[in-house]
Amino acid sequence: SMGSNQTWITEVTLLGFQVYPELEFFLFGLFCLFYTLTLLGNGVILGLICLDSRLHTPMYFFLSHLAIIDMSYASNNVPKMLANLVTRRRTISFVPCIMQTFLYLAFAHTECLILVVMSYDRYVAICSPLHYTVIMSWRACTVLAITSWVFSFLLALVHLILILSLPFCGPHEINHFFCEILSVLKLACADTWLNQVVIFAACVFILLGPLSLVLVSYSRILFAILRIESGEGRRKAFSTCSSHLCVVGLFFGSAIVMYMAPKSRHPEEQQKILSLFYSLFNPMLNPLIYSLRNTEVKGALRRVL
């Protein structure tokens, strides 16, 4: 107890999607399918990259990290959401709720940084092909990957420490399908301006910064591609880059709208739909985008089969 009328929250209710029971069962089936496809698609890509020695290149090394992030990210948010769609009791204890917030932030940050590293890899491959093996050596790739993971988890830890320094005394409801950071902050009975400032600063640093780096890489890549003489070479360069650009557009687009755009009249409902993009659609689409547009992945799949 923190005073006469303030007590710590021990559990919260996730309101999730407030729809008719029939629609809940339909959504349960649909999201179950999406989640299964996410795990399957990313699992297959991960398996192919491990099994096929021709895919042991920096590009696929980072793609395997993206697959791991997507599976972890979806597994952090979706199972609880699925359980809540079919049960009446939609509570979650406060500690697992905060852990969900922490992991969600950590994986989201890691995905931002891995996407930047992937665009840098494409930039080196197309703009400096002769120096590619030197610049993107295995040591450099490992350092870039480890740095992305460690930095992201440390940044998520900063958010976590700031959240835990707040007193939480209610309301006991989160109008979301998982413990998303902005929704969790609404439970605090103290001023959350510092948290909001840190979230905004992190967004500038981890969203706008990386996005501008990606765009710079791709504008340079585009000029390099346009200078390629052969149509075949140009097509191949375009196909590897366009798939990555699709993923970047989906991921950064939904993130910027959610955390940096002015709030709409129905902010909660808008946030839930955008979070679905993050938790389900992006992780499910990533392997599809990469495998359908990629002849090397298709070839590896045929060889393994």
SS (H, E, C) 235-275: HHHHHHHHHHHHHHHHHHHHHHHHHHCCCCCCHHHHHHHHH
Q: Is residue 19 part of a domain?
A: yes
One-letter identity of residue 242: S
Cβ neighbours of residue 220 closer than 8 Å, sequence gap 6 or more:
123, 127
H or E element that contains 128: none
Residue 264 is predicted with a pLDDT of: 64
Residue ranges of E strands in 101-197: 173-174
Name 14's bridge partners: 174
C-beta separation of 275 from 176 below 8 A: yes
Residue 299 is predicted with a pLDDT of: 85
Where the chain has pLDDT below 70, the residues are: 1-8, 170, 240, 263-266, 292-293
Left, alpha or beta for 170 (phi > 0: left; psi -120 to 50: alpha)? left
Q: Is residue 220 part of a domain?
A: yes
Residue 293 is predicted with a pLDDT of: 67
Backbone dihedral angles phi then psi of residue 45, each to the nearest 5 degrees: -60, -45
CA pair distance 301, 87, nearest whole angstrom: 39
C-beta separation of 255 from 49 below 8 A: no
Going by C-alpha positions, the residue among 65, 57, 49, 221 that lies closest to residue 136 is 57
For residue 8, CA distances in Å to 2, 41, 67, 148 come to 7, 41, 38, 35
Q: Is residue 4 part of a domain?
A: no
Q: Is residue 196 part of a domain?
A: yes
H or E element that contains 13: strand 11-14
The structural domain count of the chain equals: 1
The CATH number for 117's domain is 1.20.1070.10
Q: Is residue 5 part of a domain?
A: no
Q: Is residue 35 part of a domain?
A: yes
Residue 1 is predicted with a pLDDT of: 37
Domain that holds residue 283: 11-302
Q: Is residue 192 part of a domain?
A: yes
| CB atoms near residue 236 (< 10 Å) | 15
Residue 266 is predicted with a pLDDT of: 58
Q: Is residue 178 part of a domain?
A: yes
